[in-house]
Amino acid sequence: GQNIDQPTEMTATEGAIVQINCTYQTSGFNGLFWYQQHAGEAPTFLSYNVLDGLEEKGRFSSFLSRSKGYSYLLLKELQMKDSASYLCAVRTLFSGGYNKLIFGAGTRLAVHP
Amino acid sequence: AAGVIQSPRHLIKEKRETATLKCYPIPRHDTVYWYQQGPGQDPQFLISFYEKMQSDKGSIPDRFSAQQFSDYHSELNMSSLELGDSALYFCASGGYNEQFFGPGTRLTVL
């Protein structure tokens, strides 16, 4: 079966660093995406990892270890506007060669002054 | 930069009515995805199209159907609407290493 786990909620202080973990158990792994979603809005694409290692994009970095079925999203220099849900999504490859995203339940991050 | 366009943004229907949601993907993106997101839930994959052919099907009810047209826009058709169909419906488009979501259509079934 397919299973993606993330912490439900996290809190952090403005200016700090926070790491949001994601573990997954899926068949046909074909990449992992991180999205930010504010309530009632569309998910915003943050990062994509398919190979092991760290991808850095400004204040956001994402890490992947395929052997461990593990990823994390690192947010630096937190700002109040970073308060949102962060969704980990795994792309699975199906026999037809096409693929879909399976989302975790998301981690609600609250940034405090 | 162009984004994914969805219409309408809000839709209110009665039970047993029919609804059609439209999606215009980012130009040159070869894949379109439809997702349903209920209140407090994560997005659930419904169906996808690759180069106008249905490429994968998720937890889409038989009352729903979708297609992608020659101009690459896609429509999600929902019939015999039920109260439980009330949700945000997102369309996303992308290539291999990216997937961008549209603003969503909020469907309310009364």
- Taking only the tens place, the pLDDT of each residue in B39-67 is 888 899 899 898 888 888 888 899 999 99
Minimal Cβ distance to B97: which of A31, A94, A100: A31
**How confident is the model at residue B54, as a pLDDT?**
85
Q: Kindly determine whether residue B97 and residue A94, on different chains, have CB atoms separated by under 8 Å.
A: no
Q: How confident is the model at residue A96 (pLDDT cuts 50, 70, 90)?
A: low
Q: How far is A106 from chain B (nearest CA, A)?
A: 7
Nearest one of B66, B60, B54 to B85, comparing CA atoms = B60
CA B43 to chain centre: 11
